[in-house]
Amino acid sequence: MNAPPSARAAHQRELVPNAGLSSATATDWMDTLWDPDAALLRATPSLAPHTHMVRETIWYAVGLLSRGGADDRTRAVEAVESVLANQFSQPGQVAHGTWRRWPGEPDPGPDAAEWRDYDPNWREFIGTALLLILHEFEDDLPAALVTKIDHALALATAGSRQRGVSAGYTNIALMAAYLYDGVGRRQDRPELCTAGEALATEVHALWARTGTFPEFNSPTYYGVDLYGLALWRGLSASPVLRGTGAEMESRLWEEIADRYHPELRNIAGPYDRSYGMDLQRYASLLGLWIELVTAGAHAPLPSGGPDGAQHAHDWCFAPCFALLAAVPTQEMSKRLTDFAGPRHVSTTVTAAPHRVATSWIGERLLIGAQDTGSAQEAGRFVETWTSQYCPVAVHWKEPGTTGGVHWLRAAPGTPVDARVDEEGVLRLVHRAGQSDDSPLRFEVCAPQTADEHITATRWELPGVTVQVAPAQGTDAVISRSGEVLHIEYVRTDAPGDGETRFVLRFATH
């Protein structure tokens, strides 16, 4: 028998004092997005032109059931019913068991392509949320709805297994393993339990090679990873999932604390995938977890809350995180609120292909770099999400503010490998093509920078001076796009292929 909502809420407050507040804040905001006619959440501006959100509505249902206020149960039931009505049932087809991203999305045809015509990952996102609802609130739901949820979980599990999620697709694999095992135990299907434990074992074995995940240092993916691992550690009945989940979760929190700067409210790069460069300007899932751990202090989230925040729809995930609770050690929690001093961090992400991430965390400066050794295959997400892959990232304290930052990065698509050494010196290798159409390009967000303060060898930026040792035969060309300054190093002699090397030294002021 599940505990009543009041007892569950008290238990979560005991685990994480900010859990109730974090969930309530997100749920109160989602109240403003609720469309009673559609029984779905209206889409946030970043998801336009779509009008409603299916996945986020199931997260809202978790928030409503957690809050347990007047009429919350009734609305939660409506929300779950509406989400279930948007599931694809196409046995043998690629989209079987997943959900529409928005109501009215056409049924995928026989030639449907993932991401374009459907999102295969909605099976895991929505499926695990449905399991969470059943685990915590089944006694609060009508029996007929519970039956429908079990049917939806069977469809989602079948479609996910048909797809065959790779262990290297970490964030989805973590959820899939819990989905298989959870549905298998609930529906007395041993073959699903076996599949869940097998995938969990494969994920752990891949992680154990280097002690980190191949989807490295993503402020969004790490948030999903913590969610999946918390499901393993906290709710799974499988000793395999519980044991390996606790081990990987503890190490992941340590890895996050190693690169996090609580005063700058950002995590040092490099990023395998990032939706933005400043965590105080968009809603990141990692930011929501850190908010839980720190009771809101030094949380890397937009100060104004979800209203107007970039990627605001991810804030809807907060009630699920709050229910599961975050469990870093006291030492790790302290490092998320108090700056632990300057340090150099080096992580071998994968040995084959070669990928090494190095970071410098200074009092007023963060530098992150990734070296792939010019590997042709540097990981699934390095290739797939080129526009969001960030092998070089630098943040520094914005003058005259308590927590604001300026930043620069290697522009998306720039072929570059880099390392930052123990003195905080950034060393880059630019791998040019067969022509001069792939210069070394930087993007700099430091408003009020005057063009005359940028030369090929020195950048005078607000809060930091950068000394550049450029390759011979190159010159800097400057352009602007909104608040972003673009600096390109172009060849002044005959173009050629091969490597050119640059060294950047930073002095904050």
Determine the Cα–Cα distance for residues 93 and 195; give it in Å rounded to an integer: 21
Can you give the pLDDT at residue 493?
72
Higher pLDDT, 31 or 13: 31
What is the sign, positive or negative, of the torsion defined by CA atoms of 60, 290, 418, 458? Answer: positive
What is the sign, positive or negative, of the torsion defined by CA atoms of 132, 138, 142, 147? Answer: positive
Cis peptide before 49 (omega within 30 of 0): yes
Q: Provide the greatest CA pair distance for the chain.
A: 76
Decide if pLDDT at 241 tops 50: yes
Can you give the pLDDT at residue 325?
84
CB neighbours of residue 374 within 10 Å:
13
Decide if pLDDT at 97 tops 80: yes
CB neighbours of residue 364 within 10 Å:
19
Can you give the pLDDT at residue 9?
41
Determine the Cα–Cα distance for residues 288 and 462; give it in Å rounded to an integer: 30
Higher pLDDT, 437 or 489: 489
Cis peptide before 353 (omega within 30 of 0): yes
Q: What is the mean pLDDT of residues 243-254?
A: 97
Q: What is the mean pLDDT of residues 174-184?
A: 98
42 phi, psi to nearest 5 deg: -70, 150
- pLDDT single digits (tens) 408-445: 999 998 889 999 999 999 999 998 654 445 789 999 99
Decide if pLDDT at 128 tops 80: yes
The one-character DSSP state at 316 is: G
Nearest to 357 by CA among 334, 378, 337, 385: 378
Task: Note the helical H segments in 170-238.
Answer: 170-186, 190-208, 221-235
Residue pair 275/284 in contact by the 8 Å Cβ criterion: yes
Determine the Cα–Cα distance for residues 468 and 457; give it in Å rounded to an integer: 4
Decide if pLDDT at 377 tops 70: no
Q: What is the mean pLDDT of residues 360-366?
A: 97
Can you give the pLDDT at residue 386?
67
Which two tokens mark 252?
A: 């992941």
Can you give the pLDDT at residue 17?
59
Determine the Cα–Cα distance for residues 255 and 346; give it in Å rounded to an integer: 10
Higher pLDDT, 490 or 508: 508
Kindly state the percentage of the chain with pLDDT values over 90.
80
Q: Where is average pLDDT lowest: 45-54, 235-244, 427-436? A: 427-436
| pLDDT band (50, 70, 90) for residue 495 | low
- pLDDT single digits (tens) 306-315: 988 999 999 9
Nearest to 1 by CA among 145, 136, 149: 136
Q: What is the average pLDDT value for the chain, to the nearest integer?
A: 91
Kindly state the percentage of the chain with pLDDT values over 70.
92
Give ∠ CA 467-469-474 in degrees, rounded to 5.
120
| pLDDT band (50, 70, 90) for residue 239 | very high
Determine the Cα–Cα distance for residues 407 and 396; give it in Å rounded to an integer: 6
Question: What structural domains and CATH numbers belong to the chain?
Answer: 5-335 (1.50.10), 343-508 (no CATH)
186, amino acid identity:
R
Nearest to 293 by CA among 259, 250, 327, 264: 327
Decide if pLDDT at 500 tops 90: no
| pLDDT band (50, 70, 90) for residue 178 | very high
Residue in the structure block whose two tokens are 């079987």: 96
Which two tokens mark 163?
A: 């797809």
The residues near 305 (Cβ < 8 Å, ≥ 6 apart) are: 25, 29, 315
| pLDDT band (50, 70, 90) for residue 21 | confident
Can you give the pLDDT at residue 18?
66
pTM: 0.94
Residue in the structure block whose two tokens are 């007395």: 188
Torsion of CA 169, 174, 176, 177, to 10 degrees: 120
Higher pLDDT, 372 or 178: 178
| pLDDT band (50, 70, 90) for residue 400 | confident
Decide if pLDDT at 379 tops 80: no
Decide if pLDDT at 378 tops 90: no
Can you give the pLDDT at residue 99?
98
Can you give the pLDDT at residue 3?
40
233, amino acid identity:
R
CA-derived radius of gyration, the chain: 23
